[in-house]
Amino acid sequence: MEILKKTKELKEKLNRIQEELQKPEVLKDRERLIELSREKKSLDGILFPYEEYCKVTQKIEEDKKLINETGDKELISLAREEIETLEEKKGALLIEIKNAMIPSDPEAHKNAVLEIRAGTGGEEAALFAADLLRLYSRFSESKGWKVEIVDYNRTDMNGYKEVIALISGKNVYGQLKYESGIHRVQRVPETESGGRIHTSAVSVAVLPEREELEIEIDPGDLKADFYSASGPGGQHVNKASTAVRIEHIPSGITVACQEERSQHQNRVKAMKLLRTRLYEMERLRDENQRKSKRKKLIGSGDRSEKIRTYNFPQNRITEHRIKYTKYNLNAVMDGNLQDVIDSLLQAEREESSLETA
């Protein structure tokens, strides 16, 4: 079987990595040590079920040999029952090995930048953008993640034309990466007096946060401005110029942060956002050069792709990419998003399993 052949090759690779990890020069090289340790951990996840698979296979062969060699009917009956149980376990272990061999997203462990922008629908879209921020904030709270608002543009009714947040914690990007796209809402807006259902849209983008080591920025390419932070309607909420706006002149990308009380703290967050945007620009450029690759079932993560509908009159949420529909929208809007995310990740695993089979 091809997958078992691959697993044997991975076992040989693990042995080589373990030898490397014992070398003094590797122990002194921090980056190399981290890289090898991560690779070892990934291989352990594959090889543990493989070792169990080998033990189960050996036990099945021993039981078959016993059946052929013994004349004891009771022993034969027990051996056959055990073989039946072991065959089921063997099949489950093979599935586990296949799933473990699916390449994991190397960026899953990273923090994320969440960008929510009101689209078609005017004030109602801005209000729904605020609802989505609340949804993601509550979900993050349930996961033990930290949410920090970086920049925002509020409306008079406390909606958001745009809001950007940094979310930090364990496996943030791995959980939220499929949230990017157009989120459509169907409900009676607060601004509607006639009780008519309106359809509005909000775009969401989730990007993995980039560290300084991943992308270098020449300070000479930056232009920074300082201004007073603003509240709803754009009025200034303090007189001190603590908010920061940074323009990266070569790319034309501009980022801002106004949530912290000091220029320094706002500048640190703005630079995190700038690194992430610059890296994403490069990634999209590379991706456009590989457009011949087929589009995946779950989509490209393009923020122009309609991915989900929130229908309030029917209490229904529909995830269009995987034909997921449930009538628990109120619970989802309160932060109970895990089932939707798990369904998307399961679809990803199944698709990747077909590709590696």
The yes-or-no verdict on residue 289 having pLDDT over 70 is no
DSSP state of 321: T
Look up residue 113 and give its amino acid.
Answer: V
Task: Return mean pLDDT, the chain.
Answer: 85
Q: To the nearest 5 percent, what fractions of the chain are helix, strand and coil? A: 50, 20, 30
**The CATH fold of domain 219-288:** Double Stranded RNA Binding Domain (3.30.160)
Asked if residues 122 and 155 have their Cβ atoms less than 8 Å apart, the reply is: no
The yes-or-no verdict on residue 239 having pLDDT over 60 is no
CATH for 2-101?
1.20.58
- Token pair in block for residue 127: 């209000």
Strands, sheet with 146-154, edge to edge from the N-terminal-most edge strand? 146-154, 160-168, 112-118, 198-208, 181-187, 306-311, 316-319, 324-326
Q: What is the pLDDT of residues 60-89, one digit of tens each?
A: 999 999 999 888 889 999 999 999 999 999
Q: What is the mean pLDDT of residues 141-147?
A: 95
pLDDT exceeding 90 applies to what percent of the chain? 46
Q: What does the pLDDT read at residue 294?
A: 39
- CA dist 293 and 291 (Å) reads 5
Q: What is the pLDDT of residues 158-185, one digit of tens each?
A: 999 999 999 999 889 999 999 999 999 9
pTM: 0.67
Q: Do domains 2-101 and 219-288 have the same CATH topology?
A: no
Domain ranges of the chain: 2-101, 112-209+316-356, 219-288
Asked if residues 266 and 257 have their Cβ atoms less than 8 Å apart, the reply is: yes
**The CATH fold of domain 112-209+316-356:** Alpha-Beta Plaits (3.30.70)
